[in-house]
Structure 1
Amino acid sequence: MIIETRAYARAGLLGNPSDGFFGKTLSISVRNFGTSVSLYESPELHIEPEPQDGSTFRSIFHLRDSVSMLGYNGGIPLIKAGIKKFGDYCEEQGIRLPNRNFTVRYRSSIPRQVGMSGSSAILVALFRALMQFYKVEIPIEILPCLVLSSESEELGIAAGLQDRVIQSYEGCVYMNFDQELLRQRGYGEYERIDPVLLPKLYVAYNTQLSKVSGKVHSDVRARFDRGDADVVQTMGQIAGLAEEARTALQEGRPDDLHALMNQNFDLRCTIYKVSDTNKQLINAARACGASAKFAGSGGTIIGTYRDDDMLNRLFVELKKYNARVIRPYIV
């Protein structure tokens, strides 16, 4: 029997990047793009490579472009790290795994290196497949922690819990990463929000942007750890926007998210260096009358729009900046 599991792209609505700094966020899963994992029993444990995992290239230019868009390692290290963490978790919990091996492969339609969390989607789908194969139940609030530790502890990737939480829970989720909660139990408070309450949303991603994820937070992380007043205060303000958005949605005021999302990005710019390419995309969207902020760490933006006319203007104007606009499919 072949086990098939999926995990989807995600977009941060409000509060990011405060999730890595004991803040609060509101996020959605974007089912327009996803990762699938196939797993079936085999004599040996085998990981099937994808094209991006290979070491054969047509030319030096092909290698350069491949590394720019996909990174140096592809998905194989993620799969290895996830399998190891799954085994570690089972051992710590006293779960005895049967002596069964498997072959695993993954496929992904999530655009790479534009902040839609393609890496963590691979891991979430992998953990779901491993749980089915070995008949192991991992509590949903613990799953994001295992995915995060697979990336951070095993591979040294700088990341926060937000992406892994929304990809585990799906839909729309409000998250509170209170420091004391994380210290006591290792995870925050996660509350599902009915997607019906959301305003009209668009997502736009740069089809030509190439950057290596996991490097954007380094300077701010160091400043936060030093107690830099500007960074600590700004992260607190950004986290507060997520809480305001949650209240607005619950009270039937979805239009309030327009100003909150713009404010989120503007605050971010006071402590992060944002590239001209990303700023152009934000400014072009706002010039159409839409709100705009990063959906993650850059390369993809998200915002609210008023009507179909405004959405059509976004299609036309953002295409000038090599960006594709979609309406996120949220369940």
Structure 2
Amino acid sequence: MTTCFARAALAGNPSDGYGGAVVALPLRELGAVASVEESDTFTVRAHDRSLHRLLTAAAEEYEARVGPIDGGVLSAITTVPRSVGLAGSSALVVSALRALASTNAHRWDPIDLAEAALAVERDRLGIEAGLQDRLVQAAGAPVVMEFDPVSFRALRSPIDLPLFVAWSTSDAEPSNTLHRSLRRRFDAGDEHVRTSMVGLAGQARAAAAAIERGDLRGLATAINRTFELRALMVEIDRTTRALADVGRRAGAAMNSAGSGGSVVGLVPTVDHLARVGDAYESAGFDFLEVG
């Protein structure tokens, strides 16, 4: 069995698809687990059509990049809430690619694994997406990622970072919706979108430096500014706006964790997390402290 965790972007998103930079971290409390059981022929076992499509496309991409799959039954389960912007589908794909690699001792380079996972969804399934979800999931650690050219570096903070994520499953919307709109505008030469992407990359680099200094105030500024730049490019959906407002009223710096109905927040102290969690519970949203 192989595991891949959900992820939350802290700053710079969604500039990853546009040559920018992003800081993100895995959410070890939520993840997907894939396995390949012994069988003479290869098949995919899934409980719904969407999962079957993901796993089948992952197997096809694996064969194209690595070689034939001799046999086995590929299956996967997940605890990541679907379509809320926490990279649930890419967690399934990455875990599946890892499980397939375990059958013939193939060793994935993190960037190669991330690019293969992106190809599964973007090229084989027609889902508009960027590399950052898959790259932080392939790295399995908090990272700052650059995308022109692609590189990443693990981030370590001298202090605990009091972070959380919150989401709503009732109004979830696939991230593909937002990404398609942005891609059309960027490709059409929309100067506002292009300038904003440069600004977002700058916020990612500022966030990375703040994390390594243990500078919570600087990190909070980069998180908030990322959300502001995002709001200048696209209309923030009602659910994400409501989630961000709950956190802000409770004293947190807020950003969209992805694109689909989830947010990530930073508070001044670990003790502050309980107060924020109560606020989200009262508002009827899901809440998770990031360990």
TM-score range, shorter chain: over 0.9
Residue 140 (structure 1) aligns with: 110
In structure 1, how many angstroms separate the alpha carbons of the residues matched to 2:233 and 2:178? 12
CA contact (8 A) 2:144 2:153 kept: yes
Question: Quick one: which amino acid aligns to residue 19 of structure 1?
Answer: D
Distance in 1 between residues matched to 2:76 and 2:157, nearest whole Å = 28
Whether the 8 Å contact between 2:157 and 2:213 is mirrored in structure 1 is no
Look up the match of 1:256: 218
Select 2:161's aligned residue among 199, 220, 224.
199
Q: TM-score, normalised by structure 2?
A: 0.95
Secondary structure of the structure 1 residue equivalent to 2:175: coil
Q: 1:315 to 1:210 in 2, by over 3 A?
A: same
CA distance in 2, matches of 1:141, 1:207: 31
CA contact (8 A) 2:168 2:239 kept: no
Report SS of the residue matched to 1:215.
Answer: helix
Shift of 1:226: 1.7
Task: Please state if 1:29 is matched with 2:12.
Answer: no
Matched, 1:20 2:17: yes
1:23 to 1:198, Cα distance in 2 relative to 1, 3 A: farther
CA contact (8 A) 1:172 1:195 kept: no
Contact 2:38-2:73 at 8 Å conserved across structures: yes
Q: Say which of 214, 220, 239 aligns to 2:176.
A: 214
2:231 counterpart residue number: 269
Identity %: 30
Q: CA RMSD in A?
A: 1.6
Counterpart of 2:138, as a letter, is S
Q: How far is the alpha carbon of 1:145 from its aligned partner? A: 0.3
Q: Which of the residues 70, 87, 102 maps onto 1:100?
A: 70
Once the two structures are TM-superposed, the CA of residue 127 in structure 1 deviates from its matched residue by 1.0
> Do 2:216 and 2:268's aligned partners in 1 also have CA atoms closer than 8 Å?
no
Are residue 292 (structure 1) and residue 263 (structure 2) matched? Answer: no
SS at structure 2 position matched to 1:130: helix
Q: Which residue number in structure 2 is paired with residue 57 of structure 1?
A: none
Note the alpha carbon deviations across 1:224-275, whole angstroms, 9 max, x for none: 1122111111111111000011122223323311121111111111111112
Deviations 1:83-134 (A, max 9, x none): 111111125xxxxx5x731011111000111101111111111111111102
Provide the rounded CA distance (Å) in 1 between the counterparts of 2:61 and 2:211: 37
Q: Is the 8 A contact 2:4 2:91 kept in 1?
A: yes
The structure-2 alpha-carbon separation of the partners of 1:204 and 1:189, relative to structure 1 and needing over 3 Å to count, comes to same
Find out whether 1:113 has 2:44 as its counterpart.
no
> Aligned pair count?
291
1:159 to 102, 114, 129: 129
Q: Which runs of 5+ in 1 are unaligned?
A: 54-72, 92-96, 182-187
Q: Is the CA contact (8 Å cut-off) linking 2:121 and 2:127 kept in structure 1?
A: yes
The 3-state SS of whatever aligns with 2:50 is coil
Match of 2:99 among 125, 129, 153: 129
Runs of 4+ in 1 over 6 A off after TM superposition: none
**1:298-317 correspondence to structure 2 within 5 Å:** 298-317=260-279
- CA-CA distance at 1:197 after TM superposition: 4.8
> How far 1:195 moved relative to its partner?
5.1
Pairing 1:79–2:55 present: yes
Consecutive unaligned residues of structure 2, counting only runs of 5 or more, are none
**Which amino acid counterpart does residue 288 of structure 2 have in structure 1?**
I
Match of 1:88 in 2: 64
Note the C-alpha offset of 1:207: 3.5
Higher deviation after alignment, 7-16 or 130-139: 130-139
Give distance in 2, aligned partners of 1:263 and 1:298.
19
* Equivalent position of 2:208 in the other structure: 246
Residue pair 1:171, 1:195 contacting (<8 A) in 2 also: no
Following superposition, the deviation at residue 206 of structure 1 comes to 1.3
Instruction: Give the Cα separation in 2 of the matches to 1:196 and 1:224.
Output: 38
C-alpha distance in 2 between matches for 1:271 and 1:306: 28
Matched, 1:328 2:283: no
Shift of 1:167: 0.6
Q: Return the alpha-carbon distance in structure 2 between the equivalents of residues 151 and 263 of structure 1.
A: 29
Q: Secondary structure at the match of 1:292?
A: strand
Partner of 2:240: 278
CA contact under 8 A between 1:208 and 1:322: conserved in structure 2?
A: no
Preserved contact between residue 15 and residue 238 of structure 1 (Cα < 8 Å): yes
Q: Match of 1:6, as an amino acid?
A: T
Q: One-letter code of the match for 2:145?
A: M
